Amino acid sequence: MPDLIHNLEAVQQRIAMAAHVAGRDARSIALLAVSKTFPAEDVRAAHVAGQCAFGENYVQEAITKIEALADLRGTLEWHFIGPLQSNKTRPVAEQFDWVHSVDRLKIAQRLSEQRPDNLPALNVCLQVNISGETSKSGLSVAEAVEVAREIAALPKLKLRGLMAIPEPVGSIDEQRVPHRRLRELFERLRDEGLQLDTLSMGMSNDLEAAVLEGATIVRVGTAIFGARDYSN
Ligand SMILES: *Cc1c(COP(=O)(O)O)cnc(C)c1O
């Protein structure tokens, strides 16, 4: 676990440094620790070190972890960031605080219908396919405006902003291009009257580029928890 604490500090330092270069307040950038494939004990250790927001990609794995950490309920914030099928929305609507990966209206409608009345609105981001790769999920930039309007009107959701997973590229200048495109779309939606405050972009390898382009949440897994093992 000492690694984990050291890694968390190192990531916070990277965020602070990039914020400084960008002339931004580092407190305007939240760190989401992506704990997929790592056990509940690692989440607990990160929480002891001061980390509160955790990202998960797989519904069943996440629910098991959330239940194992039920004693920390109220002090942890759970963000769903993986692909979401419409038959798996209910546990997500019931157990999570955020969903970053909303990529179609139908998913949003189900999440809104299934969000329990006693919970606050579920925070959501629209996932946008910013690199234009056919294999990756996400709305096209062209579709995003219309879908954002429809989702913003759903009663039990709060549309917070946009999320993207750009294609990996080498240099920081190249990394900035898709992040800039997402920010431009974000600004356009705000100009059209949508009250958005969240740009979820940047991962272990490109968080500096994302912060330079205005990220408000960076989603970091490997640089905190280490390399993932998908063998089980
Ligand atoms: C796994 C994952 C991350 C974290 O990626 P790292 O490269 O390990 O930091 C971030 N966002 C999403 C959507 C992911 O699936």
Residue 230 domain-assigned (yes or no): no
Residue 231 lies in a domain: no
Is residue 52 scored above 90 in pLDDT?
yes
Over residues 214-219, the mean pLDDT reads: 98
Q: In this structure, which residue's CA is closest to atom 5 in ligand 1?
A: 221
For residue 147, the enclosing domain spans 2-225
Question: What is the number of structural domains in the chain?
Answer: 1
In a domain, 32, yes or no: yes
Per residue in 161-175, pLDDT (tens digit) is 999 999 999 999 999
pLDDT, position 133: 66
In sequence order, what are the residues at sequence separation of 6 or more whose Cβ sits closer than 8 angstroms to the Cβ of residue 208? Answer: 14, 17, 18, 21, 172, 175, 202
Q: What does residue 55 show for φ and ψ, rounded to 5 degrees?
A: -110, 140
Partnered with residue 123 across adjacent β-strands are 98, 158
Ligand 1 atom closest to the Cα of residue 203 is 9
Atom of ligand 1 minimally distant from the CA of 57: 15
For the residues 121-126, what does the mean pLDDT come to?
98
Q: Rounded to whole angstroms, how far apart are CA atoms 43 and 208?
A: 24
| CA end-to-end span of the chain | 21
Helix (H, G, I), strand (E, B) or coil at 65: helix
The answer on pLDDT for 135 being more than 60 is no
Residue nearest to atom 7 of ligand 1 (CA): 204
Q: What is the mean pLDDT of residues 214-223?
A: 98
Counting every residue written for the chain, the total comes to 232
Q: What is the pLDDT of residue 25?
A: 98
Tell me which amino acid residue 148 is: A
Q: How far is the CA of 109 from the centre of ligand 1 (A)?
A: 25
* Closest C-alpha to ligand 1, atom 6: 221
What integer pLDDT is reported at residue 2 of this predicted model? 64
Per-residue confidence (pLDDT) for residue 230, from 0 to 100: 84
Rounded Cα–Cα distance for residues 187 and 1 (Å):
40
Q: Which amino acid is at 118?
A: N
Q: Does 124 contact ligand 1 (Cβ within 6 A)?
A: no
Kindly state whether residue 7 falls inside one of the protein's structural domains. yes
Question: Residue 122 falls within a domain, yes or no?
Answer: yes
Contact call for residues 203 and 219 (beta carbons, < 8 A) = yes
Q: Is residue 232 part of a domain?
A: no
Q: What is the pLDDT of residue 131?
A: 82
pLDDT tens digits, residue range 68-107? 999 999 999 999 999 999 999 999 999 999 999 999 999 9
Q: Is residue 73 part of a domain?
A: yes
The stretch 60-72 carries a mean pLDDT of 98
CATH number at residue 92: 3.20.20.10
Residue 42 lies in a domain: yes
pTM: predicted TM-score of the whole model, two decimal places = 0.97
